[in-house]
Structure 1
């Protein structure tokens, strides 16, 4: 075993999932995993490799503050291991609220001056991400807090990337990386147009897997809109070549076409949904358009809502655009065929804002896929909106802004009740989600939330992205479904 390897210590109370995470990182079933608290008592060591960087993983026994001599010895060994380690992963159970025992031990580990991450396990779905705000009480920064689910393999990629950044580079892999880059370049230049046996079913499985392991430099953009508004033409104009069939006949493009290209260090993948009707039939076009749009939005984190500037807006335009708000995506409204209308932009903008009030945060860009007008500006705007969509506001700045907002416009006092915001924290991105920790969260009216959201937009660049503000009680134990229902 290489003694020069950096050491990573897993610390935490019994039954928080340390052994399961150890197995996940080691990619082998080495540690004993059991629902019985205190199953792992000894220090287990294993060489691991995250991508091309190696380390020595140390799984400590579960720490339990009891008078039992066994657990007392386990704690002593765990602290000793943490002192020897270069990186410490302190794991807690996300199903429970933080307890004083966890905080005390965490502060003791903080004083060691090592690279320290707080890993909140058992965050099994997107709704449970809201629990993360409670763990900001530890006083840890956003970049060192990770909400994961080992059993569902959710959120582990971000943790692995954080560990990877703190491990030394392995120079032996340089040649391998160059060979891999050459292989990818050849694959990207390969023409799949003649591949008739291509399996859509297997491709969908692949896409789902890729969504789970999301890349910070990869942007998935859904191009949506009703039939024949010019979605394929816009795709071709952005890519600089004709990859989608373009025709004035409505519904020419029947199957969605995924196309990727690199722009400003980002890999942008477009999902062209030009075909919004079934082959050989236009019956049920509205129902099918909405169904197809939903499928694309599930894979995307950004959307281009394409409208036809040469025609009047329709109810179907509104329904399709409404789905973007429902899925909480970064959004740009693209006004295509501007060269065929040339009406005043202000007049068109007023009409769009009137009908699409739910997308008030989305910028409007008038383009012409035919002439190439504003296409480069649209590409730049995609990068800008994605950065807004994924940004995280430091807790100190956020609280300063919320405090200023409350000073300017006092919290309401419904029925004489005194409302107070203790603090605010952003607990999630994609889209940005902010928790207001309050004394009486159920009494906060939605109009005041709307005021706070507008105030946040004035202070930070959230153009193109929705903001979700959720009121929570300091010791609230309400279920996620009830929170969502209450905060509608």
Structure 2
């Protein structure tokens, strides 16, 4: 797949164009300069007859402080790897020395480079487009994303850089005397296997090292790391192949106390919730150096709410002053509702336990997708109810579980078919703990749903 990178100074409309191409509101858009800081990648199809492309949105090019310099450096690194560069400018301005310097730097890469003049909302602004020809661009496309002017022409031009899909050879065109086994190589056979995919959300409060952890897990400087709070705003993702699985890590924006959430960070909080909704495994990142705070517990509550598999990770262990057992004891005390989650310490800086964390992700995902045979499940439920009888209802009538069946995974979700579809929370907890004694469900919640006999089973 070819890579198409969008570069430009802050607030010229790069993220708006990115959203237009992928046809959804993925990148956060704001009038505030510097909203996009990390790169965002999406695989997108521009036409049914063309191969898919990797579209990359970058942070604004600006020389302001340490954080913005890192954003700028990352954007130019992306440009070096791209097959096509779209350099976007604001058509309501005129090119300054900084703009000329950036564009000249991109020209030296000797790659296809298109100058996109955005915010040309009317014919009067179109006259100002000619000022940008001084940059020496071979191709200039005036557009207005807000008014959908010229966007279609630009997309058609991008399509010309994209290879067409290879046509599948019809069976009738294969010579009959060629042995079937010679038509496929071992490598092609491997591609026929169903891909196993795990979505992992990395969550935590501001500045606990989530972006550093993402970089350590994927083995590259994928996310921008800075001591400045709120460096990550958009969720950013990267996929690796590990132990037979494609693992996609999503680094979410750091969450701070609601009273301290600033302007665009409220959108970041909403994105974090959306990421958890779509994730399989959540990594709750704690700061081993500064300890656990109340906000950590609230973030853990979001994981419980979305019923993700969970691993609790104490990052910055190389700088921690607390004893391991003491820290683990505090974790178990503060996160009782995530009691099923394994706990481990890591250091994104020194790479301590990073491979073990990857192994743990695969391990808890296996439990998150576990299915219990109906016969075995009913055998366990019968044993549990015989050991400890169900309580009667408020009128003293006996409550019975006729049978149980698991009807969903992610997490394991079990319907209990009963004469009275009510289950006291203490007995529900007893049954769940009993099931955990019978099989390994480390890292995943177990959901029990009482159902009246004869009613259709469906997941809440």
* 2:332 paired with 1:353: yes
The residue that corresponds to 1:385 in the other structure is 364
List aligned pairs for 1:17-166, cutoff 5 A.
none
Shift of 1:457: 1.0
List aligned pairs for 1:213-362, cutoff 5 A.
217-274=196-253, 283=262, 290-362=269-341
The alignment yields a C-alpha RMSD, in angstroms, of 2.9
Match of 1:417 among 375, 397, 400: 397
Residues 369 and 361 of structure 1: is their aligned pair in 2 closer, same or farther, counting only changes over 3 Å?
Answer: same
The residue that corresponds to 1:427 in the other structure is 407
Q: Deviation digits for residues 463-483 of structure 1, max 9, x if unmatched?
A: 111111011111247x97xx9
The whole-number CA distance in structure 1 between the counterparts of 2:380 and 2:23 is 43
* 2:18 paired with 1:199: yes
Structure 1: which 5+ residue stretches go unaligned? 1-185
Q: Deviation digits for residues 382-413 of structure 1, max 9, x if unmatched?
A: 11111111111110111111111112212222
Residues 384 and 341 of structure 1: is their aligned pair in 2 closer, same or farther, counting only changes over 3 Å?
Answer: same
Residues 303 and 283 of structure 1: is their aligned pair in 2 closer, same or farther, counting only changes over 3 Å?
Answer: same
Shift of 1:291: 2.4
Residues 244 and 434 of structure 1: is their aligned pair in 2 closer, same or farther, counting only changes over 3 Å?
Answer: same
Shift of 1:339: 1.1
Residues 254 and 475 of structure 1: is their aligned pair in 2 closer, same or farther, counting only changes over 3 Å?
Answer: closer
* 2:256 paired with 1:437: no
1:290–1:320 Cα contact (<8 Å) kept: no
Match of 1:452 among 431, 436, 444: 431
1:228–1:274 Cα contact (<8 Å) kept: no
The whole-number CA distance in structure 2 between the counterparts of 1:228 and 1:460 is 37
Shift of 1:342: 4.0
Residues 192 and 356 of structure 1: is their aligned pair in 2 closer, same or farther, counting only changes over 3 Å?
Answer: farther
The whole-number CA distance in structure 2 between the counterparts of 1:455 and 1:216 is 33
The whole-number CA distance in structure 1 between the counterparts of 2:23 and 2:377 is 39
What is the number of residues matched between the two proteins? 285
The whole-number CA distance in structure 2 between the counterparts of 1:314 and 1:359 is 16
Which of the pair has more CA radius of gyration? 2
Shift of 1:288: 5.4
2:233–2:265 Cα contact (<8 Å) kept: no
1:218–1:269 Cα contact (<8 Å) kept: yes
